[in-house]
Amino acid sequence: MDLYRLGAWQLRELLKKREVSPLEVVKALLQRIKEKDGRINAFLTVDEEGALEQARRSEALIQDVEQYPLAGVPVGIKDVLVTWGLRTTAGSRMLENFVPPYDATAVKRLKEAGAIIIGKLNMDEFAMGSSNENSAFGPVHNPYDLQRVPGGSSGGSAAAVAAGLVPVALGSDTGGSIRQPAAFCGIVGLKPTYGRVSRFGLIAFASSLDQVGPMTRNVRDAALLYRVISGHDPADSTSAQLPPHDVLDVVENSQSLKGLKIAVPWKELEGADEIVKDRFERVVETLRSLGAEVGEVEMPSFRYAVAVYYIIAPSEASSNLARYDGVKYGLRIEGEDLVDTYFKTRGRGFGREVKRRIMLGTYALSAGYYDAYYLKAQRVRTLIKQDFENVFAEHDLVIMPTSPTPAFKIGEKIQDPLTMYLNDIFTIPANLAGVPAISLPCGFSPEGLPVGFQFMGPLFKEDVLFAAAAAYEKARGEYFNRVAEI
Amino acid sequence: MKGDYEAVIGLEIHVQMSTRTKMFCSCPVEFGAPPNQNTCPVCTGMPGVLPVINARAVEYAVKAALALGAKVNLKSVMARKNYFYPDLPKGYQISQYELPLAEGGQVVIETENGEKVIRLVRLHIEEDAGKLIHDEKGESLVDLNRAGTPLMEIVTMPDLSSPQEASAFMREVRKIMRYLGISEGDMEKGHLRCDANVSVRRRGEAQLGTKTEVKNMNSFRFVEKALEYEIRRQVQILEEGGEVVQETRLFDPSTGTTRSMRSKEEAHDYRYFPDPDLIPLVLDKNWVDRIEENLPELPRAKKERYIKELNLPPYDAGVLTETKEIAEFFEKVVAEGVSPKKASNWVMVEVMRIIKEKELNIRHLALSPSSLAKLIRMVEEGKLTGNMAKDVLDVCASTGKDPEEVAQEKGYEVLSDEGELESVVRKIVDEHPDEVQKYLSGKDKIIGWFVGQVMRELKGKADPRKAGELVRRILNEKKGS
């Protein structure tokens, strides 16, 4: 039995029946990582000893599925979530040797559920990027075509799950950073409602947009992780006052989509590749065949989403990244005086894209420009929210492709930030509005590259999202639970 | 002022709130802890951490706003003030900008020309930065114990016209904060800090002159010294035909002067924007109303009441209301039935002498208000003389013993038998015919000498007033014979 092919739920079942032990699972995955990750570069840190130790300890927990729903299940963590005692880099030279003295809430909840943290996953520096080429520790290669990007910024998480290096992983999504790499790597990626999962310990990129979410090879695994990490956290003031959200029954029982009203903003999809449009049209057919009503809607503010995003996200980032100054932790390059130390430390510690966004944001927040940029962007953000509200007044869900193209080649877009930014054109609106969205695989391009689409739902209606996702998965099971052969 | 100039001063005051924990984490707030002891990932700005606002700090600031007559905004917004400095761990300070916690309000101060109203612009909450310590080796060390300490910033209109008014304003604010129990208000410990915007203009001119901002005035005396210097400096520039440059100036206590710190061009662009980590601060109106209903009586109201209802002289009322603790002590003495004026005299003179000598807060005085009341009554009833009472008071103040008990231990008792007192007086008068003669020839002051003799004879146990009356009566009997 190839243990690396199994998802979290399947592993949990086998573990409970004692058909495998946590140690066997962990060893199988460590072996797989050793064999394959040299070509993928998904892991920044593999905690071999820690994982083996956790595996030994989780032996005692595996019978108690209620208390320890993830006991013995290895999980990969995007390196933007801090892990106690385990190096956390955010993909940056700045934090190359940073070992946090605390756990992110999402990580803590995984540990409390018995999960084994097997290592930390590569990403675009400070989660800024759509291709993982902005990592200070080298790009990640798409397991379906090693010449291509896995998407970003959670590229390491997506590639690791797709290549069977881990059954499940956590990512973070600020403008599509879970969904777009999930689509590029043929897996499931959920961005929960803003406020559903605690951001405590998530190294901030853009605080009003960041959300943590699961990346898995099937819908049920996403629901399983989602239940564990969701729920109010007093350490995060923006976390919603809601208990952990259990949608496992919804996933289990979902069959038909009869009566479900699904909206497609067709006009906004014009920029998509022909192959993406084709696969998307097939999704529409499948959903109709499941009983859903699919109709066209207008969401005219969507076309401003990328522009709005590239004001708001860099503005927040310019402030969030001010703490990396060489004074307290992380990289410090001694200069002639204080200001010189700042310049040298930040000059060498940050990569090009991070600097670009810090400058953009600093500019947008400057006296005299604030109203024209930041404030204006916030107003348009409100219009985008209203577009969603209007559509959700009469529809249950919105669907769109996740990305306008399948995975592109490494190096293809990195010199042209604007083209790169436009890659997130379909994912950004959900972040700006705070609504939940899930990307699902919907087939392959003729070259064998995965294509994805996404459901977007009203605020805190992840259950509707999961019901539709599960029904689609049952209808198109061939796209799920796949492990890339490399 | 030289050449008939007037100064226009506005203040920004920072008040450290005396909460148990910091503004956005649960680290303790305390003065003098070893460097970086009271820190955690949140207040040291580690990656991924988030702030959670201290509800008690909000409550304190609302109390202050209401006490200052400001309008509390039921919705206010926390904002980031961005700048780089080693004592600012996040690279931004969480403060308030566009929608502060409260707006308006006023403080009444006393000046040589009577009362003056100083209007307030706003009151907002924010966190403090850490401290830089420069050692002998020329290295700078960062101590983040203070980082994240809750502060209130109070901004005045430019209604102050002299350094004395500025320091009077600071004192009044401190008094109010202490009454509310929300700040210790110790300037030396940095609980109360102030920056001033200062300009001068010819008296009668409507337009304001160019202002400078003066920083680093960390005592009441320095506030006055710094402003005096700065006003003199600006007047001199204008007198010489020059122009005041808009800039930030630093007060140097060692020279008593101010020097340029940064020009207007070098001023920071703080790039304020709403902090996305903190949702807008929304207050429940009933909660605010309840705080307002439960505000203590404030110093000015108390002083007026003492004057109007207790018929105390304004001076007494002022001294007694200087701190809430003294006022409370005084009120308890009065509540025991002592006349306000008597209670005032004893508290102002004797009790305040003792707490000054012992360098004690009145709260820690062993003497209870009811003991003082008892003591005062003993004097009124003639059981103790004034001098005896002062002795007894000293003992009570350090031991907490009952005054009756102390008087007994000391053997203090006033001769209550009038016949015995009279016979002693007669005896003394008979023994000193020369002195009697002096009295009869008009030397009235000699009565005091007789009283002294009587007191000595009775070892101080007589009521000197009664003894005096008797001496006079008996000497007057001699006049007729």
Kindly list the residues from chain B whose CB atom is less than 8 angstroms away from the CB atom of residue A90.
Answer: 47
What distance in Å separates the CA atoms of residue B17 and residue B63, rounded to the nearest whole number?
11
Owner of token pair 């000391």: B410
Q: What is the DSSP letter of A148?
A: B
What distance in Å separates the CA atoms of residue A62 and residue A73, rounded to the nearest whole number?
10
Which of B84, B86, B272 lies at the smallest CB-CB distance from A322? Answer: B84
Q: What is the mean pLDDT of residues B353-364?
A: 88
As annotated, the residues of chain B forming the CATH 1.10.10.410 domain(s) are: 418-480
A315: in domain:
no
pLDDT of B413 > 80? The answer is no
pLDDT of B211 > 60? The answer is yes
Kindly list the residues from chain B whose CB atom is less than 8 angstroms away from the CB atom of residue A199.
Answer: 48, 50
Q: Which amino acid is at B278?
A: L
Tally A–B CB contacts below 8 A.
103
The answer to whether the Cβ–Cβ distance between B47 and A90 falls below 8 Å is yes
Q: Which amino acid is at B369?
A: P
DSSP assignment of B64-86 equals: HHHHTTPEEPSEE-EEEEE---T
Kindly list the residues from chain B whose CB atom is less than 8 angstroms away from the CB atom of residue A322.
Answer: 82, 84, 90-92
Residue A85, phi then psi, degrees to nearest 5: 75, 0
A323: in domain:
no
What distance in Å separates the CA atoms of residue A452 and residue A404, rounded to the nearest whole number?
10
A280: in domain:
no
CATH top-level class of B418-480: mainly alpha
Q: Which amino acid is at A153?
A: S
The verdict on whether A403 is a catalytic residue reads no
What distance in Å separates the CA atoms of residue B54 and residue A319, rounded to the nearest whole number?
22
The answer to whether the Cβ–Cβ distance between B41 and A102 falls below 8 Å is yes
A377: in domain:
no
A363: in domain:
no
In angstroms, the separation between the Cα of residue B324 and the nearest Cα of chain A is 37
Q: What is the mean pLDDT of residues A205-226?
A: 98
pLDDT digits (tens, 9 = 90+) for B197-206: 999 999 988 8
Mean pLDDT of chain B: 92
A409: in domain:
yes
Nearest residue in B to A343, CA atom: B84
What distance in Å separates the CA atoms of residue B77 and residue A405, rounded to the nearest whole number?
41
Chain centre distance of CA B91: 35
The answer to whether the Cβ–Cβ distance between B277 and A315 falls below 8 Å is no
Region for B263 from its dihedrals, namely left if φ exceeds 0, alpha if ψ lies in -120 to 50, beta otherwise: beta
pLDDT of B284 > 80? The answer is yes
User: ipTM higher than 0.90?
Assistant: yes
Q: Best of A237, A332, A341, A346 to disrupt the B interface by mutation (most B CBs within 10 Å)?
A: A237
8 Å CB contact between A318 and A365: yes
The CATH number of residue A433's host domain is 3.90.1300.10
The verdict on whether A445 is a catalytic residue reads no
Tokens of B110: 């006393």
B63 Cβ contact list (under 8 Å, min separation 6): B180, B182, B291, B295
| The one catalytic residue among A92, A153, A318, A403 | A153
Kindly list the residues from chain B whose CB atom is less than 8 angstroms away from the CB atom of residue A321.
Answer: 91
The answer to whether the Cβ–Cβ distance between B41 and A100 falls below 8 Å is yes
Kindly list the residues from chain B whose CB atom is less than 8 angstroms away from the CB atom of residue A354.
Answer: none
Which of A100, A315, A321 lies at the smallest CB-CB distance from B46? Answer: A100
Given this model, what pLDDT does residue B218 score? 86
Q: What is the mean pLDDT of residues B259-276?
A: 91
Owner of token pair 């007789």: B450
What is the radius of gyration, based on Cα positions, of chain B? Answer: 30
pLDDT of A195 > 70? The answer is yes
Task: Identify the domain containing residue A104 by its residue range.
Answer: 3-261+395-479
Tokens of B296: 């203590």
Q: Which amino acid is at B358?
A: K
A267: in domain:
no
What distance in Å separates the CA atoms of residue A246 and residue B68, rounded to the nearest whole number?
50
Average the pLDDT over each of A260-269, B31-40, B263-272 and give the range with the smallest value: B263-272
Angle A274-289/A462-475 helices, nearest 10 degrees?
A: 100
Handedness of CA A418, A422, A423, A424 (dihedral sign): positive
pLDDT digits (tens, 9 = 90+) for A342-385: 999 999 999 999 999 999 999 999 999 999 999 999 999 999 99
Partners of residue A120 on adjacent β-strands:
A45, A77
B446 Cβ contact list (under 8 Å, min separation 6): B435, B438, B439
A272: in domain:
no
Is B480 in a helix, a strand, or coil? Answer: helix
DSSP assignment of A300-341 equals: GGGGGHHHHHHHHHHHHHHHHGGG-SSSSSS-----SSHHHH
Number of structural domains (chain A) is 1
Residue A177: closest CA among A148, A200, A156, A201: A156
Tokens of B290: 């309840």
CA distances from A459 to A193, A232, B103, B334, B347 (A): 6, 15, 35, 63, 65
Which of A95, A327, A365 lies at the smallest CB-CB distance from B142? Answer: A327
What distance in Å separates the CA atoms of residue B169 and residue B111, rounded to the nearest whole number?
10
